[in-house]
Amino acid sequence: MIDYTEKIPNNVDLGRDRALQRALEHWQPAYMGWWYDMGPNESHNFDVYLRTAISVEPDGWAQFDYVKMPEYRWGIFLQPRDVDRQVNFGTHKGQPAWQEVPGEYRSTLRRVIVTQGDTEPASVEQQRMLGASCPSMYDLRNIFQVNVEEGRHLWAMVYLLHRYFGRDGREEAESLLARRSGDEDNPRILGAFNEPTPDWLAFYMFTFFTDRDGKFQLCALAESGFDPLSRTCRFMLTEEAHHMFVGETGITRIIKRTCEVMKENNVEDPDHVRALGVIDLQTIQRYLNFHYSVTLDLYGSDVSSNAANYFTNGLKGRFRETKLDDDHVLTDAEYPVYEVVEGRVVKKNVPALTALNERLRDDYIDEIKDGVQRWQNVIDKVGVNFKLTLPHKGFHRAIGNFAGHHISVDGEVLTEEAWKKHEYEWLPSPGDNKFVQSLMTGRVVEPGKFANWIAPPIRGINGRAIDFEYVRFN
Ligand code: BYC
């Protein structure tokens, strides 16, 4: 169980290490300062029906109650230790999993943990203004749940930095509160986390596409030979699932509403669809193209010596590493990557060790395809003639082999000029953003009411009714 009588709730026996406890108690007010500044705007006095972890066991996960977000019990929760756990891949395969940081990997591990940690507050910053335009109380509660849990994920990484990386770790923990999403001078580390999330369509796309990068990266880190990182990530993954649920169902409900309105009014032309106050499927497709491509960049370069080193050194594994049927060392294996040669996309086999970013990206794409198919099923079920598609992997990429090339959604290599001609057929135009935002000018917060552009969910949260008062504004 988690001890909530402590100032910092935890299941790591924090009280036994006074110096660490003091250091974290020193960081805590800085974190609260960041939350008051950069957390959900004007929300501090709301009572929100939130879940809080009460135990890390699968059956005792959560408790639901009204909480003011600044009073949320952020804390440190690791999955229980398996004393027999080993390093399961790379050159240290078969050794007992490390309980302390191996000296030679210290800076690499720190960098990975900082990169992971940096995304968490970044996403809260990106989403902080969305409460003012929520489509319902149910959705408002969900975004707040996502936000407090991203805050907890920051705590998870900060615990590792403080506990295992001494003074450097403490400095990194402070920097995590100092960088700001989209800031010109001190931006967040990874590209997608500096993009704005200006409306709810973008928010649901983000939680579907980008939070799922979170899932895959956390799965890879959960395989780490550094056991505390593995145990932290395993618990984080249980929280991540709800975020992807919010994204997937959010888009499902938007598509459903649009298709129903199209059917009822017998309209297909996107201008006519827009005139009925719902989001046309073409715009949804363009948002999809944007979020998918920006998220693909988060996996890093297709061929990466960093990725090879992470794996060889036992720091970051593959998706479901221990379930894979091979030698887990990969010295002789190959893996296909794509590159642009003389105006065409061509396949090339490279050492599998160097292609681990690409492999994780491919695992991710497989899961994305299934999700997009589920959205397609909604369109087909209502009987609207429209096909959602995933753009080519090389489309609109800024990292890796496709960076600097102009690839169409179908994978054709174009000149910059030709690509520009199609840009706003493929990506949201300023006019698209403006239209979407024009639907979201105020918040809908009467219990059980939903904005015109989105269908209600199938059920409420934790068995509550859809018209339950999920947020009390006081
Ligand atoms: N933007 O060898 P390369 C989540 C940098 S999301 C900017 O290709 P590597 C969440 C790279 O850092 C999951 N820079 O990269 C979701 C490197 O820079 P340095 C977050 C980029 O190291 C929603 C250089 O390019 N977790 O949790 O193999 C809400 C050469 O890179 C980008 C992680 O990412 C980019 N997109 O792989 C809330 C896991 N991509 O070091 C939360 C931890 C690459 O040469 N991170 N660069 O200056 C990693 O494992 C790796 O750092 C990466 C990059 C996979 C990101």
Question: C-alpha 227: how far from its chain's center?
Answer: 23
Q: Where are the alpha helices (DSSP H) in 57-136?
A: 106-127
DSSP designation for 268? -
Q: Which backbone phi and psi does 272 adopt, to 5 degrees?
A: -70, -40
Is residue 295 lining ligand 1, measured as CB closer than 6 Å?
Answer: no
Q: Taking residues 334-349, report their average pLDDT.
A: 97
* Of the candidates 308, 367, 366, the residue with the CA atom closest to the CA atom of residue 90: 308
Look at residue 4 in the predicted model and tell me its pLDDT.
Answer: 75
Spatial separation of the C-alpha atoms in residues 88 and 92, rounded to whole Å = 8
Confidence check: pLDDT of 1 > 70: no
Contact 281, 258 (CB under 8 A): yes
pLDDT, tens digit, 9 for 90 and up, residues 449-462: 999 999 999 999 99
Q: Which backbone phi and psi does 112 adopt, to 5 degrees?
A: -65, -45
Bridge-based pairing of strands 47-53 and 413-414 is unpaired
Pocket test for ligand 1, best of 125, 157, 399 (most atoms within 8 A of CB): 399
> Which residue's alpha carbon is at the smallest distance from atom 31 of ligand 1?
300
Look at residue 56 in the predicted model and tell me its pLDDT.
Answer: 80
Spatial separation of the C-alpha atoms in residues 50 and 43, rounded to whole Å = 14
Measured in Å, residue 152 CA sits from the centre of ligand 1 at 20
Contact 72, 154 (CB under 8 A): no
Contact 193, 205 (CB under 8 A): no
pLDDT, tens digit, 9 for 90 and up, residues 267-307: 999 999 999 999 999 999 999 999 999 999 999 999 999 99
Measured in Å, residue 190 CA sits from the centre of ligand 1 at 6
Spatial separation of the C-alpha atoms in residues 142 and 125, rounded to whole Å = 16
Residue at 283: amino acid letter: T
How far from 351 is each of 288, 335, 454, CA to CA, in Å? 32, 6, 47
Measured in Å, residue 120 CA sits from the centre of ligand 1 at 13
pLDDT, tens digit, 9 for 90 and up, residues 26-61: 999 999 999 999 999 999 999 999 998 877 876 667
* Of the candidates 135, 18, 87, the residue with the CA atom closest to the CA atom of residue 442: 135
Measured in Å, residue 467 CA sits from the centre of ligand 1 at 41
Look at residue 94 in the predicted model and tell me its pLDDT.
Answer: 98
For the chain, percent of residues with pLDDT exceeding 90: 94
Spatial separation of the C-alpha atoms in residues 277 and 435, rounded to whole Å = 10
Contact 127, 143 (CB under 8 A): yes
Measured in Å, residue 454 CA sits from the centre of ligand 1 at 34
Look at residue 54 in the predicted model and tell me its pLDDT.
Answer: 79
Pocket test for ligand 1, best of 38, 245, 298, 363 (most atoms within 8 A of CB): 298
For the chain, percent of residues with pLDDT exceeding 70: 99
Is residue 214 lining ligand 1, measured as CB closer than 6 Å?
Answer: yes
pLDDT, tens digit, 9 for 90 and up, residues 83-106: 999 999 999 999 999 999 999 999
Is residue 259 lining ligand 1, measured as CB closer than 6 Å?
Answer: no
Q: Classify 463 in phi/psi space as left (phi over 0), alpha (psi -120 to 50) or beta.
A: left
Measured in Å, residue 299 CA sits from the centre of ligand 1 at 6
Q: What is the dihedral of CA 39, 43, 44, 46, to 10 degrees?
A: -140
Name beta bridge partners: 63: 52
Confidence check: pLDDT of 3 > 80: no
Look at residue 59 in the predicted model and tell me its pLDDT.
Answer: 67
Q: Taking residues 150-163, report their average pLDDT.
A: 97
Spatial separation of the C-alpha atoms in residues 130 and 204, rounded to whole Å = 11
Measured in Å, residue 74 CA sits from the centre of ligand 1 at 26
Look at residue 62 in the predicted model and tell me its pLDDT.
Answer: 82
How far from 341 is each of 290, 345, 351, 403, CA to CA, in Å? 25, 6, 19, 13
Confidence check: pLDDT of 433 > 80: yes
Whole-model pTM: value is 0.97
pLDDT, tens digit, 9 for 90 and up, residues 342-388: 999 999 999 999 999 999 999 999 999 999 999 999 999 999 999 99
Mean pLDDT of the chain: 96
Confidence check: pLDDT of 447 > 70: yes
> Which residue's alpha carbon is at the smallest distance from atom 38 of ligand 1?
120
Please name the residue that has the structure tokens 């989001």.
279
Is residue 399 lining ligand 1, measured as CB closer than 6 Å?
Answer: yes
Measured in Å, residue 337 CA sits from the centre of ligand 1 at 18
Lookup: tokens for 120: 């968490």
